[in-house]
Chain A
Amino acid sequence: MSPIVASIIKGTVALLWVVLNALFLVWFERKVAAWIQNRMGPMRVGRWGWAQTIADGIKCLMKEDIIPLAADKPLFVIAPMVSVASAVLIWIVIPFGPGKSGVFSDLPIGIIFIAAVTSLSVVAVFMSGWGSNNKYALFGAMRGAAQMISYEVALVMSILGVVMLAGSLSLQDIITRQTEAGILGWYLFRQPIAFIIYVIAALAELNRAPFDLMEAESELVSGYHTEYSGLRWLLFMLAEYGHMLAWSAIAASLFMGGWTGPGLGALAGRIPAFDLFNYGIWPYLTGFFWFAFKTYLFIFLAMWLRWTLPRVRIDQLMDLGWKFLLPVSLVNIAATAVLANVWGWYAK
């Protein structure tokens, strides 16, 4: 199989994975919101409304394609695609299971790749905001650019602590390093400050409430995608949920051991028959299960926060990012460096 064909297949699978998850996530978010708000959520389309997102998607596809007359057409059209592209590309380096076959491409610079690719979404937001030629969209884009750039700094700084402990930029390496010391080896316990900063900054990066300033409904109607409808709007939604999925997966990989977990193969030491589960497709199945489970834990956390908290103001958001999260993450890096050299167990 030539590398080009392989890349195309990998890309398609990644895209399919994002789309299927986004379909589920929209339904899941509506159910979570309904549960928090004492409602039923979608109930009409299929049992428990499982097909609601599909119906909504079809509706969006059927809609008239509207491009405002005053819009900058190329920018307006490309923006949603760029947004989706960045959400899909992240998945190239995220491991679903053990070894080389558990990940699309185990880049040795995985973390840097993620930071680079997610920056694309800022570009998409700004393209859409500027291209729409709408004041609300422009405000949303301005906010988005300011917010995403400043929180990306804190985000990467918080990851740096993890990278220092793991001694590698590859996600697969970081996961295997964590499992060496059992569940206490999870960087969630060794890097608690980095973990908290990561969660806050990732929420801001995703522009989820309480940091959903660039699509703040009560001020900016719906921010940068005010002028979008139909398919293009659908693409923005897809990108939003794709990003949420990706950032949750990264959180699971960096802080909670990713695909590793107490699989049945771990019992092999006690019951020899279970050794079976360490071979063939089985480790991949359990790996995938634990990966998805941990990812969805983070997604649920994000939804829970969104439906509970009000929105912060733009200046408060910037203050939090630059005056609090960044200094704390820098201190965290310094502390990690010192601890890793002084305390042997910590660096193990």
Chain B
Amino acid sequence: MALTQEREITVNMGPQHPSTHGVLRMIVKLDGETVVEAKPDIGYLHRCFEKLAEQKTYPQVITFTDRTDYLSAMTNEWAFVLGIEKLLGIEVPERAEYIRVIVAELQRIASHLIWFGTFSLDLGAATPFIYAFREREVIYDLFESISGGRLLYNYFRIGGLRNDFPPGWKEKVLEFLEYLEKKALPEYHKLFTGNRIVEVRTQGVGVLKPEVAIAYGASGPVLRGSGVDWDLRRDVPYGYYHKFDWQVITEKAGDVFARYLVRMREVEQSIKIVRQALQGMPDGEFLGKVPKVLKPPKDSEFYVRHEGSRGEVGVYLISDGTPNPYRCHWRSPAFVHLQLVEPMAIGWKIADLVAILGSIDIVLGEVDR
């Protein structure tokens, strides 16, 4: 092995590495164990979403939106569908709006659960991972029974949904929420949250200041973990969120632990929302009146802001009057958050880099699109 006089060592983490959550490559410069530079290299999962979307009609694109962030497919479909509904001025039936809220919040719970599992794995604890997957499995079974898919659903339709609940679904959801709230979440907290090792590994690590978070365009739990009281579900309302009683969760500290707490407490809020939505749900249609061929007016454009599981999902649609979008841009929160890794990780150890990377909850399918 050649000996050089360099003080720093460059380590190539990824694209195949246990803790890059997909195919992310980090080029990390280390001084001993301390991170001096951490440059993410992305694009390994680029599937030409935007170019493909230009070739397809609007309803066909919905299936692609599933595949951008495959852990949060329901919220992605909603974001895209919102944009077209806005452009065409389509009214969505009341029942469909309720079901949308329910499935989106269940999806948020599922996504946060997966995040909890993988994050604990990043810190070196294998057991919470299995526990989280056990609960997520139930949600996926629920989704399977309404949409037929377990990961990619294609459940949303422009103007509503593909189909209504199957009978007995509501009771199953309520039963699961009861189990999650009373049994699973306390178990997680007992196993992980109060653990001294978790505390010393995460508290004070990777602090993100609120003004930096805003200037970088951070969103979702990352932004709320820095103490910014901002949630698009409440502040730029869409859907029926204003009808329910729930809170936006914020944590002041801005470190890895704060982001962890925000997500865990958001699960509780989502449970609350789903319960209320299931209770207040009216009968009626699940698909509104929608023309056979969807042609938004020429040169109309709209930028949707939607609170996905990971943060602000933006869909920028430009129509040229044909059934295909002229331009469809997908702004993904993880893409923005990944820029924050380097400023947060410099000066911390390589083990902290992994924890920070885990705490911003990236899904590479969404980063690369």
Contact = CB atoms under 8 A, between A and B. Distances in A.
Interface of A: 33, 36-39, 70, 72, 130, 133, 135-136, 139, 209-210, 212, 216-219, 221, 307-316
Given A135-B9, A216-B351, A219-B350, A308 B127 contact: yes
B237 to A, nearest CB: 39
B354 interface: yes
Interface string B328-361: 0000000000000000000001111110000000
Nearest to A316: B200
Contacts of B124: 209-210, 212, 216-218, 309-311
Given A72-B1, A218-B121, A314 B351 contact: yes
B130 A310 contact: no
Contact of B123 (A130, A135, A307, A311): A311
28 contacts: A33-B126, A37-B126, A37-B127, A37-B130, A37-B131, A38-B134, A130-B1, A135-B11, A136-B11, A210-B197, A212-B124, A216-B124, A216-B351, A218-B19, A218-B351, A221-B17, A221-B18, A307-B127, A309-B124, A310-B124, A310-B201, A311-B123, A311-B124, A311-B351, A313-B352, A314-B349, A315-B349, A316-B200
B191 interface: yes
Given A218-B121, A218-B354, A221-B18, A309 B195 contact: yes
B33 interface: yes
Interface in B114-138: 120-127, 130-131, 134
| A interface, over-half SS | loop
B198 interface: yes
Given A133-B1, A218-B123, A221-B17, A38 B130 contact: yes
A73 to B, nearest CB: 13
Contacts of B192: 310
B11 A308 contact: no
A38 B121 CA distance: 17
Contacts of A308: 125, 127, 191
Interface residues of B, number: 31
Given A136-B11, A315-B349, A316-B200, A309 B125 contact: yes
A313 B201 contact: yes
A310 B351 contact: no
Contacts of A37: 126-127, 130-131
A39 B130 contact: yes
Nearest to B18: A217
A139 B350 CA distance: 11
Contacts of A218: 18-19, 121-124, 351, 354
Contacts of A310: 120, 123-125, 192, 195, 197-198, 201
A311 B197 contact: yes
Contacts of A36: 127
Interface in B156-210: 191-192, 195, 197-198, 200-201
A169 B122 CA distance: 42
Contacts of A39: 130
Contacts of A309: 124-125, 195, 197
A307 B126 contact: yes
A313 B127 contact: no
A71 B123 CA distance: 30
A313 B131 contact: no
Contacts of A219: 19, 350-351, 353-354
A312 B197 contact: yes
A307 to B, nearest CB: 5
A199 to B, nearest CB: 16
B131 A38 contact: yes
A310 B256 CA distance: 15
B256 to A, nearest CB: 12
B349 A313 contact: yes
A210 B192 CA distance: 13
A312 B127 contact: no
